Amino acid sequence: MFDTALTAADLVFLAKGAGMTLLVTAIAVVLGTILGILFGVFRYQVGPWWTAPLTFVLDVFRSIPLLIQLVLANAFMGMVLRWQLSGFTVACGVLTMYTAAYCAEIVRGGIEAVPMTTRRAARSLGLSWGQDMVNIVMPLATRVALPSWIGLALGVMKDSALVYVVQVTELLKSTQILITRLQEPLFLLLICGAFYFLISFPLARLGGYLERRWSHD
Amino acid sequence: MIEIQDVRKSFGALEVLKGIDLTVAKGEVLTVIGGSGSGKSTLLTCINGLEPIDSGRILVDGTEVHAKSTDLNKLRRKIGIVFQQFNAFPHLTVLENVTLAPRKVLGMSRADAEAVAVRQLQHVGLSDKLGVYPGRMSGGQQQRMAIARALAMQPGYMLFDEVTSALDPMLVGEVLDTLRMLASEGMTMICVTHEMKFAREVSDRVAFFHQGVMAEIAPPAQLFDAPQTPELQRFLAATA
């Protein structure tokens, strides 16, 4: 059915692109989640007044299109700060902040979903604020926040396609390079989509698995 | 001994405790009755420092609860409290619910904490539920678990804040039986309750709260059979 000029070497080239997508996503999601938890707890704990500057910065990262953020950050680092950063570093940095900005809200929502009465009961047993956070709030908030967080991680994975503007050859860019050479756009996009699916599917299933595992409560 | 001296507490413009003086001796069972909004539940949450007070003092075994120098987390080990809502930790099994605080706060080993927990859960009649998650239990069972959880800290005092108010009528009895058992064992208890029969039965003294004031306090026979104030007379007539 397919009369294609695609070679095994081209498939390896695509797989490398997929590897780059996975790497950028993994770094951004891991670091962004850690930062997001810190920001989210800080915002919940300190209240809106003192966290207004942080909230503003996070809102900026949430509301400006990622493409623009990448181009501007890259230009700012190179032309204003004169830092010799690789496109990969800029891409990871911007995607991390983008993830953190969304994650902070997910975390804050998760913490707010833990009933105050439950936390009071924990404190009344002599648990400190930190022990309450670690043993009660975090496990319960995680259950609430998990579906949104999975959605965020999958979204970041797909949005990472935009890092080609800072010269990072990830999966979609690799596909476009092959399209230019082979002139088989539909077939190549189909393969590209299949790669994205292969990367996303385990994460989506992990979410389902954890939800089932935690369904006793 | 719990000493409450001229305690005042407001929520915004609403003064909910208007100068309460009360002493509860070791081994005493005090029940507190009164209409909603009378300040009785607030008093309990002030005793273990969950709520700050505006003025006055509360002393537990001579330690001032609201003094800046007081380590509240340490003080709370002495004072168990059980609330109207069961407040089970839903992500933990019954056994884990009860062992959490002894392990984290008292630093007990898992084995020691489990031994204590099993003993307390047997005590409240839940020894067959160790591995069960709270969501699978009835309200009465969850409330008894909450009592075992507080008892596992081996507190000197137990505070009960309307612990049967959120229960189906069918389940009230089993929780009250648990409280009766504790009272008969000599536990020092303050019970805020709407169960008049229970109050009459177990209490050494009963206090009647009305609009932030302790209007009357007396042994149950005297308080229920010869109420002095018109407020208490009306309250008893309405709840009879």
Beta-carbon separation of B77 and A126 below 8 A: yes
Residue A130 contacts B, CB cutoff 8 Å = no
Q: Which parts of chain A sit beneath pLDDT 50?
A: 1
A73-82, B5-14, B43-52, B99-108: lowest mean pLDDT where? A73-82
Residues of chain B contacting residue A139, judged by C-beta atoms under 8 Å apart: 91
pLDDT at B106: 92
Chain A contact set for B116 (CB, 8 A)? none
The bridge status of strand B205-210 relative to strand B213-218 is antiparallel
- B9-37 pLDDT per residue, tens: 999 888 999 999 999 999 999 999 998 88
| From B77, B83, B135, residue closest to A117, measured CB to CB | B83
* DSSP string over A24-41: HHHHHHHHHHHHHHHHHH
pTM of this prediction? 0.83
Q: Which of A125, A135, A217 shows the shortest C-beta gap to B149?
A: A125
pLDDT of residue B158: 94
Contacts of residue B193, Cβ cutoff 8 Å, sequence gap at least 6:
B31, B32, B33, B160, B162, B163, B164, B199
Percent of chain B with pLDDT over 70: 100
- Residue B188: pLDDT over 90: yes
Q: How many CB atoms lie within 10 A of CB A83?
A: 11
pLDDT (average), residues B100-111 = 94
Contact B91, A214 (CB under 8 A): yes
Please check whether residue B90 touches A, CB under 8 A. yes
Q: Considering only residues 40 to 69 of chain B, which have any Cβ-Cβ distance to chain A shorter than 8 Å?
A: 48, 50
Which residues on chain A are in Cβ contact (under 8 Å) with B153? 125-126
pLDDT in the model for residue B157: 93
Phi, psi of B7 (to 5 degrees): -85, 130
Residues near A104 by beta carbon (within 8 Å), at least 6 away in sequence: A35, A36, A39, A40, A43, A58
A118 CA: distance to closest CA in chain B (Å): 5
Topology of the domain covering A8-206: MetI-like fold (1.10.3720)
pLDDT of residue A2: 61
CB distance from B78 to chain A under 8 Å? Answer: no
Enclosing H/E stretch for A213: helix A185-213
The predicted complex's ipTM stands at 0.85
B173-185 confidence digits (pLDDT tens): 888 988 999 888 8
CB proximity A216 to B under 8 Å? yes
Q: At residue B240, does pLDDT exceed 90?
A: no
For the segment B49-98, what is each residue's pLDDT rounded down to a tens digit?
999 999 999 999 989 999 989 888 888 889 999 998 889 999 999 999 99
Q: State the pLDDT at residue B88.
A: 93
* Contact between B101 and A126 using a beta-carbon 8 Å cutoff: yes
Mean per-residue pLDDT over chain B, rounded: 91
Give the residue from chain B lying closest to A143, CA to CA: B91
A48 touches chain B (CB under 8 A): no
User: Chain A residue closest to B73 (CA)?
Assistant: A126
Amino acid B167: pLDDT: 85
Residue B196 belongs to domain spanning: 2-239
pLDDT for B128 beyond 60: yes
Of B87, B135, B150, the CB nearest to A216: B135
What's B206's domain CATH number? 3.40.50.300
- Between positions 136 and 155 of B, the ones with CB within 8 A of A are 136, 146, 149-150, 153
